[in-house]
Homo-oligomer: A and B are copies of this chain.
């Protein structure tokens, strides 16, 4: 199971969470990545943890002031990126072009979507992974695997029907090891999580608990 910890724009200590994640990954063999703000990629990558961008722009090198250039994210140490998170929804054509940008820069990709139909849609664009996150559950602490398990199994089926080489992750409300196990049983190969770790008093303990059942 892949575990991607999205730090969003939280008032957390990105290096502290990243160090905790790297330690848990080292100690347990769990596959954990941390996705900080672009401005924090450098220092997060310096901890040795697998580092992801939260977003890259649908652009190549050129006159694109204020963009998040995939190559710059890679320079700063990112090896993967989220795309189309529900807090940063993209135009369809821009998801397609951002996937091209990520591929040029050597970044792994996980495209988020709200429901199984949209998961089928983004799977058709050839990402490495897709993540189903019902927007109404994000930040609630109620895991999608419990609140609406059919969303996960339907998303897995939708992606498989389009391209069975695309991994399916799930997100929204994931915070415990039990949530992770449930997600795996429903067919997910990874999870996105955020506040459950980023806002924890002890991020290392939170992550260790999370991956304990793996």
Q: Which residues of A contact B (CB under 8 A)?
A: 6, 8-11, 36-43, 53-55, 57, 59-69, 71-73, 75-76, 78, 82, 84-96, 113-115, 117-118, 120-126, 138-139, 158, 161-162, 194-195
The CA of A115 and the CA of B92, in the complex, are separated in Å by: 11
Cβ–Cβ contact A65 & B92, under 8 A = no
Closest chain B residue, CB of each to CB of A6: B65
Choose from B38, B66, B82 the contact partner of A87 (Cβ within 8 Å).
B66
Cβ–Cβ contact B39 & A67, under 8 A = no
User: Given that A39-B72, A42-B39, A91-B89 are known contacts, is A64 also in contact with B121, CB under 8 Å in the complex?
Assistant: no
Given A37-B38, A37-B72, 18 more pairs with CB closer than 8 A = A8-B64, A9-B62, A9-B63, A11-B71, A38-B39, A39-B68, A39-B73, A40-B75, A64-B88, A66-B88, A92-B118, A93-B114, A96-B115, A96-B118, A118-B124, A121-B121, A121-B122, A162-B162
User: Given that A42-B43, A75-B40, A124-B162 are known contacts, is A63 also in contact with B118, CB under 8 Å in the complex?
Assistant: no
Chain B positions within 8 Å of A42 at CB level: 39, 42-43, 76
CB distance from A142 to the nearest CB of B (A): 16
User: Given that A92-B89, A139-B63 are known contacts, is A39 also in contact with B114, CB under 8 Å in the complex?
Assistant: no
List 30 A–B pairs whose Cβ atoms lie within 8 Å, in order of A's numbering. A8-B65, A9-B59, A9-B65, A10-B61, A37-B67, A38-B38, A38-B72, A39-B39, A39-B42, A39-B53, A39-B73, A39-B76, A40-B75, A40-B76, A42-B76, A63-B87, A63-B139, A63-B194, A64-B87, A64-B88, A65-B87, A67-B88, A89-B91, A91-B92, A92-B92, A96-B114, A96-B118, A117-B124, A118-B124, A124-B162
Chain B positions within 8 Å of A67 at CB level: 8-9, 37, 87-88
Cβ–Cβ contact A118 & B114, under 8 A = no
Give the most central of A54, A72, A73: most B CB within 10 Å: A72
Cβ–Cβ contact B69 & A65, under 8 A = no
The CA of A174 and the CA of B78, in the complex, are separated in Å by: 34
The CA of A61 and the CA of B95, in the complex, are separated in Å by: 25
